[in-house]
Amino acid sequence: MIFDAHHYWIRNAHVPASLVVNGNKWATRKPPTDHLLHVDLEIVEGVISAILAAGTYQNYVYPSIDLQGGMIWACFADLHTHLDKGHIWNRAPNPDGTFESALNTVRVDAQKNWNPDDIYRRMEFGLKCSYAHGTKAIRTHLDSAGKLGEMSFEIFRALRDQWADRIILQAVCLVSLDYFLTPEGEKLADLVAESDGILGGVSFINPDIDQQIDRIFSMAKDRKLNLDFHVDENNDPDSNTLRRIAEAAIRHRYRNKTVCGHCCSLAVQDAAEAETTIALVKKAGIGVVSLPMCNLYLQDRTPNRTPRWRGVTLLHELKQAKVPVAIASDNCRDPFHAYGDHDALEVFSQSVKIAQLDRPFGDWANAITSTPADLMGLPNVGRIGVGLPADLVLFKARNYGELLSRSQHDRIVLRNGKAIDTTLPSYAELDDLAKP
């Protein structure tokens, strides 16, 4: 196979222009329709060595493959996942699909079934799916209250080491913010620091919310940790913890990276309130990650009633304000989201339709590639450039219309220029885990 060669070309390909960095200048001129560049790529020893306008050479000295106009993307970065919860739906289904039931169902399942073998195997199953689909970097939130934190972070560290040559894995602790006002919260922050993790939690409106936010910022500064919050995952216009977090970041002069996920209530707030919050988020240097598939599933769900809104945050307005905006998988096959397969392309495809990220597509491809990679502190992930590893996803689809109309199950994933096995793990691998 050509992808086993040490030196080869991929010819006649379309690449999202916004993903190209360090390319030959004349190959990245103003792109045609849908901001796609028509290029030839040279791969030498697993590294991209040239990006040229398609057809620059009539004959190639080294082996080449004609992609016939197919698209090439950089490997994905999945900024917000819950690998520790994944794939428990068969034994712990959500009885009515609501957020409150999801919380309760997971809590009961964790008490009954979560042990090192159970968590390890489900997390690794998620990694196998992600890798096969073309993801290079993943950040997972880990439920961390009490002894569960120690167990989950130990499993995370083991998987991070075992998968280091395939996936860059990051972890965020997940507790409600009041936890950090307790001695157990101090211990958790130390555990996160010892694990090279990210400090995080769920922000709920309550009388002590500002004290809780100030506390976690102080802990993060003391330990030089990045922050990652679950924020305003509801349709209550009075839920404004995103604004409070932005104000705290400014107040604390916090300079490390901060990510806020969900931010759903921003979309149902008064326009002036939303604009004020977005301006503060921009000033604070906060990145926002939206989870369109999960929020579409959960938000505004009432039995026997059609949902009135889509659950997503103000993606377009945030992006127009130059706030870094990403999209991600969130939950897969658990009480918070019954479906999903850790496929970042599916996330992009569904997000385009849910949040209308087309007409034009512009640089929205970055929302699942380079933007989350930047928020994860990974400058060489999620982009295509001379001198970068040939970590690429090749599709037969020649444009966005074709890309988003089929599953692209026949994609080719290259890591360091070599094609990997994209066979997905069988669900049967988890059959022997605890049943209902």
Annotated catalytic residue, options 45, 154, 194, 233 = 233
Torsion sign, CA atoms 394, 397, 402, 405: negative
User: Could you tell me which residues come within 8 angstroms of residue 165 by beta carbon, excluding any fewer than 6 positions away?
Assistant: none
DSSP 74-124: EPEEEEEE-TTTTT-TTTS--SS--HHHHHHHHHHHHHHH--HHHHHHHHH
Which tokens belong to 205? 């409106």
Contact (CB, 8 A) for 391 and 136: yes
Q: Is 317 a catalytic residue?
A: no
**What is residue 182's DSSP assignment?**
S
The CA distance from 132 to 7, in Å, is 24
DSSP3 helix / strand / coil % (the chain, rounded to 5): 40, 25, 40
Distance, CA of 75 to CA of 435 (rounded, Å): 35
Distances (CA, A) of 147 to 60, 243, 268, 394: 60, 32, 37, 43
Among 436, 427, 336, which residue's Cα sits nearest to residue 121?
427
Report whether 66 contacts 359 (CB < 8 A): no
Residue 360: is the preceding peptide bond cis (ω within 30°)?
Answer: yes
Listing DSSP states for 229-273 in one string gives: EEE--SS-TT--HHHHHHHHHHHTT--S-EEEEE-GGGGGS-HHH
Distance CA 17, CA 239 (A): 38
Edge-first strand order for the sheet with 412-415 is 72-74, 392-394, 412-415, 418-419
Contact in structure between 30 and 49 (CB atoms under 8 Å): no
Tell me how far apart the alpha carbons of residues 234 and 264 are, in angstroms, rounded to a whole number: 6
Residues catalogued as catalytic? 233
